[in-house]
Each structure stands twice: as C-alpha cells, then as structure tokens.
Structure 1
Amino acid sequence: MRREAGLRWSVRDPQRVVPGAEPVVIIDRVPQGLAMARAAGAITINFEDENVVKRLNELT
C-alpha cells in the first residue's frame, strides 16, 4: 500500500511501479500494506518499528 498526497493505491507488483527497479523498498506503518508489498517481493520497512535511515543504509 502506498500513500502520496492523501491518496492510497495497491502495489501488487513493485516492478510495475518502476520497471527494472531492484530492490524495491516500501516504507509504511500499515501492516496490511506492508504484507501485500512483501508478498509482491518488495523489501518493507515499518517506520514505527525501525529507524528508516539506518535500515536503508544497511540495505545499500
């Protein structure tokens, strides 16, 4: 699940958002959205549970 400017939409296939992008990282706090993104192959970060900057640095 991705939100931008108050809009929400599903990300079923992260590659469709940015073709050829790898890895795709989804940052959110909504468990259902994170689960959906994870099921589609994305790396997920829950910003309520993790330090986003630290995790991104670990991934790159």
Structure 2
Amino acid sequence: MLVTAAMAAREVSVTPATIRKWVQLGRLAPAGRQGRALLYRLEDVFAAERSARRPGG
C-alpha cells in the first residue's frame, strides 16, 4: 500500500519532517508520486522506523 508522508508518519508515530529526514539519510525511498506528493510503501516505512530505533541508528 502506498501512502503520503503524513500518513506514513502517523503510522509510525513520528512527524512528516522525520519521514523527509529518513529520505535524506537514505533510510527510506519514495515508491511513487501523486501529483507533487511523494508516496511510500508502508512496509518500507516500518523498516526505516525499525532501523532508526536501533542503537546507533
């Protein structure tokens, strides 16, 4: 399922800015676009969240 940054942030209890930061850091890659909005796969968002929560992550 593809979701916007705002929806992705809500799913993992972070801010949309955190989602954008993960993209900048290469932890998360957009899977598509809807107009100007980037879309993300939920499974990728969950994986990025797990990696960010690891010590040193």
Bigger strand share: 1
Compare CA radii of gyration and give the structure with the larger one: 1
TM-score normalized by the length of structure 2: 0.27
* TM-score normalized by the length of structure 1: 0.26
Larger relative CO (CA 8 A, sep 6+): 1 or 2?
Answer: 2
